[in-house]
Amino acid sequence: MKKWLMPALQTAFVALLVVSFYATSWFGEHYVLRAEPFDPFDPFYGEYVMLQYPDLEAPAGISDGAIYFTLTEGEDGYAVIGRIEENPFFGAINGSKYDRRIVAPQLENFYVEQGHGPELEEAVDLEVTIDVAPWGSIRPVSIAPRKE
Amino acid sequence: MEWERKIAQWRSEGVIDTETAERIQAFETRQPKKRKLPLLLIIGLIFFALAVFSFIAANWQAIPAIAKVGMVVVLMWIFYILAHFSEKKRFGHPVIFRILGYVMFWASLIVTGQTFHLGTGSSIVPWALFIAAIAHFFIWRHSAFTVLAFISGITILSSAAPGIGLIEWLLFIAVTLVWFFLSKDGLAMIFSWLLLFGSGLLVWSIWDIESPLVPIWTLFALTLLLLLIPQDKQRLLSPLYLLVGGIQLIVFLAIRGESDMAFAELTMLEAIALAIAGAAVLALAYFRERHVMWLGVLGLVGFMLYDETAIVLAIAAELTALAYLIIAQRQDQPLALGFVYFIVVQFVIYVIYAWERLDMSLFFLIGALLLFALSGIAWWLNRKKEGAVT
């Protein structure tokens, strides 16, 4: 039986990973973020758009390094920082702050169809739709040029 | 058939007798006949597979996320099933199918990461591959999985380096130590030892320290493993300790000789602590594995780095190289490692101290090379002459 152990465990692991992403959408909330791209290429994953978020800025008094935050919908419909702490709390997104800008590992890049990256880079003003689970994990759902 | 024609020829020429010829014939007839796939069928299958893959690639964006991942997982299962039948029916190499199964697991994680936009900074993929490769190694005990585990371990170290946390670092050391102690296999011990050494270097990024002595501290910490492993494994690993120690001394010599080391923070307190640790390593090596006693020299590097001219480091490197060669020759031990170390030390010293006087030094270098070539020719002629006499 041990010869089937590895494929079974590996399948279970991949399934768990996939379910964790779907669970973020099933139980999470929908947010749309303003985003700006820069466009690199990963030899294994393919083409993706690196993103930064002009609305995600830390208030004064928060020092650089690891931070924990939640999102809330702003008056114009785009997400902004809700609560931000230097210590972890339940439901927080793990991120880091550097020079007022806030980034989270799961928000940094969005994989796109081959050849689609430069097109989004030219558009500059983008919007990214994400799902945020109650436990703080993120699932990027879509990316498109912003209509403002 | 070819063998029947040959037997008939040998029998007619009297090379074998009739009884032997009959015995060979009976033996060959009993052998199972190799079943070969027709060439056209093989070519057809290759083209069919290419067509299937082209179709999938052309419609990749239209395929639902779950189906993309599912396809690669199915491929992974196909290779493990092929490995099972390869072992049972004795065709092909089961280990190659298992490696392909492992590669498909890697592909399924890549596809999952791409489909669900997993962050590039995430170390979840290298971790999964590392654990899977080690598990493959313990189940099938094949060195291919040792290499795969080493590559994925290196990937964890390199991907985690900028922002690795203490817990992840300790977990990596714990898993690698388990692999080191339970592997009982030379190659696996060497590779896991190298990963342990690599994880020691992450101390720089975890605590954000600027001490240049971290590699020596790591090597000294790894000498504690000598207390816990049997003697044959100590013998196996001792050249690795010497190799890494030798490289460190040369690197320190090159850096000190070529820079002012303004980027590093040297403290006398750390230099003294390192010297004490070096003495402890010397004592430990004396009682456990005397070949490793050379590492004691590294304990003095903390003091040597205060010398801006790097002369003390150069003398230390030169003396250790010469002393190692002399002792190894007197004890009738292999000289290759010491000889390479000696050559590299000369080269580094040459670059540090003679680079600015390149025109002059090139003259001596060409002279030395000519002498070397002439002595080689003389040795070869002498050997040929001796051979002709005997």
Question: What does the pLDDT look like over B336-378, one tens digit per residue?
Answer: 888 888 888 888 888 888 776 666 667 777 877 887 788 878 8
Interchain contact, B105 vs A14, CB within 8 Å: yes
Interchain contact, B117 vs A4, CB within 8 Å: no
Please give the pLDDT value at position B160: 67
Q: Which residues of B touch A137 (CB under 8 A)?
A: none
Backbone angles phi, psi at A53, to 5 degrees: -120, 105
Interchain contact, A13 vs B128, CB within 8 Å: yes
3-state secondary structure chain A: CHHHHHHHHHHHHHHHHHHHHHHHHHHCEEEEEEEEEECCEECCCEEEEEEECCCCECCCCCCCEEEEEEEEECCCCCEEEEEEECCCCCCCEEEEEECCEEECHHHCEEECCCCCHHHHHHHCCEEEEEEECCCCCEEEEEEEECCC
Mean pLDDT, residues B18-42 taken together: 80
Q: Is the pLDDT of residue B389 over 60?
A: no
How do residues B81-105 score in pLDDT, each as one tens digit? Answer: 999 999 888 888 899 999 999 999 9
For residue B130, the number of C-alpha atoms closer than 13 Å in the C-beta half-sphere is 25
Q: Copy the structure tokens of residue A109.
A: 């890049």
Would you tell me the crossing angle of helices B231-258 and B186-201 to the nearest 10 degrees? 40
Interface probe for A, chosen from B105, B109, B117 (most Cβ of A below 10 Å), is B117
Position with higher pLDDT, B260 vs A81: A81
**Using CB atoms, which residue from B118, B132, B163 is nearest to A10?**
B132
Interchain contact, A6 vs B136, CB within 8 Å: yes
Q: Which residues of B touch A140 (CB under 8 A)?
A: 116-117
CA distances from A29 to A54, A72, A129, B117, B282 (A): 21, 10, 10, 17, 61
Please give the pLDDT value at position B309: 86
Size of the A and B interface in Cβ pairs below 8 Å:
80
Q: Copy the structure tokens of residue A69.
A: 């935050």
pLDDT confidence tier of residue A41, bands split at 50, 70 and 90: low
pTM: 0.79
Query: What is the distance in angstroms between the CA of the first residue and the CA of the last residue of chain B?
Result: 50
Please give the pLDDT value at position B325: 87
| Residue A4 contacts B, CB cutoff 8 Å | yes
Backbone angles phi, psi at A127, to 5 degrees: -130, 140
Give all strands of the β-sheet with A101-103 in edge-to-edge order. A79-85, A65-73, A93-98, A101-103
| Alpha-carbon gap, residue A146 to B349, rounded angstroms | 61
Q: Which residues of A touch B118 (CB under 8 A)?
A: 106
Nearest CA in chain A to B165: A66
**Using CB atoms, which residue from B73, B118, B124 is nearest to A11?**
B73
How do residues B257-309 score in pLDDT, each as one tens digit? Answer: 888 777 777 889 999 999 999 999 999 999 888 888 999 999 999 999 998 88
> Which of B192, B187, B188, B186 minimizes the C-alpha distance to B222?
B192
Given the structure tokens 């079974």, which residue do they identify? A8
Q: Distance from B110 to chain A by nearest Cα, in Å?
A: 6
Interchain contact, B132 vs A6, CB within 8 Å: yes
Work out whether strand A93-98 and strand A101-103 pair parallel, antiparallel, or are unpaired: antiparallel
Q: Distance from B147 to chain A by nearest Cα, in Å?
A: 18
Q: Are B254 and B346 in contact (CB under 8 A)?
A: no
Interchain contact, A18 vs B66, CB within 8 Å: yes
B215: number of Cβ within 10 Å:
22
Please give the pLDDT value at position A148: 66
How do residues B135-145 score in pLDDT, each as one tens digit? Answer: 999 999 999 99
Interchain contact, A2 vs B139, CB within 8 Å: yes
Interchain contact, B112 vs A14, CB within 8 Å: yes
Q: Is the pLDDT of residue A44 over 50?
A: yes
Q: Which residues of B touch A3 (CB under 8 A)?
A: 80, 83-84, 139
Q: Which residues of A touch B131 (CB under 8 A)?
A: none
Q: Is the pLDDT of residue B335 over 90?
A: no
List the 43-102 stretch of B: residues with Cβ below 8 A of A.
61, 65-66, 69, 73, 76-77, 80, 83-84, 101-102
Taken in order A14, A18, A24, A30, the sign of the CA dihedral is positive
| Alpha-carbon gap, residue B299 to B273, rounded angstroms | 9
Q: What is the mean pLDDT of chain B?
A: 87
> Which of B211, B217, B213 minimizes the C-alpha distance to B196?
B217
| Residue B105 contacts A, CB cutoff 8 Å | yes
3-state secondary structure chain B: CHHHHHHHHHHHHCCCCHHHHHHHHHHHHHCCCCCCCCHHHHHHHHHHHHHHHHHHHHCHHHCCHHHHHHHHHHHHHHHHHHHHHHHHHCCCCHHHHHHHHHHHHHHHHHHHHHHCCCCCCCCHHHHHHHHHHHHHHHHHCCHHHHHHHHHHHHHHHHHHCCCCCHHHHHHHHHHHHHHHHHHCCHHHHHHHHHHHHHHHHCHHHHHCCCCCCHHHHHHHHHHHHHHCCCHHHHHHHHHHHHHHHHHHHHHHHHHHHHCCCCCCCCCHHHHHHHHHHHHHHHHHHHHHCHHHHHHHHHHHHHHHCCCCCCHHHHHHHHHHHHHHHHHHHHCCCCCHHHHHHHHHHHHHHHHHHHHHHHHHHHHHHHHHHHHHHHHHHHHHHHHHHHHHHC
**In sequence order, what are the residues at sequence separation of 6 or more whose Cβ sits closer than 8 angstroms to the Cβ of residue B243?**
B337
Interchain contact, B119 vs A111, CB within 8 Å: no
Nearest CA in chain A to B61: A113
Nearest CA in chain A to B83: A3
ipTM (interface pTM): 0.85
* Residues paired with A139 in a beta bridge: A131
**Using CB atoms, which residue from A2, A7, A96 is nearest to B77?**
A7
Q: Which residues of A touch B127 (CB under 8 A)?
A: none
| Residue B148 contacts A, CB cutoff 8 Å | no
Please give the pLDDT value at position B390: 47
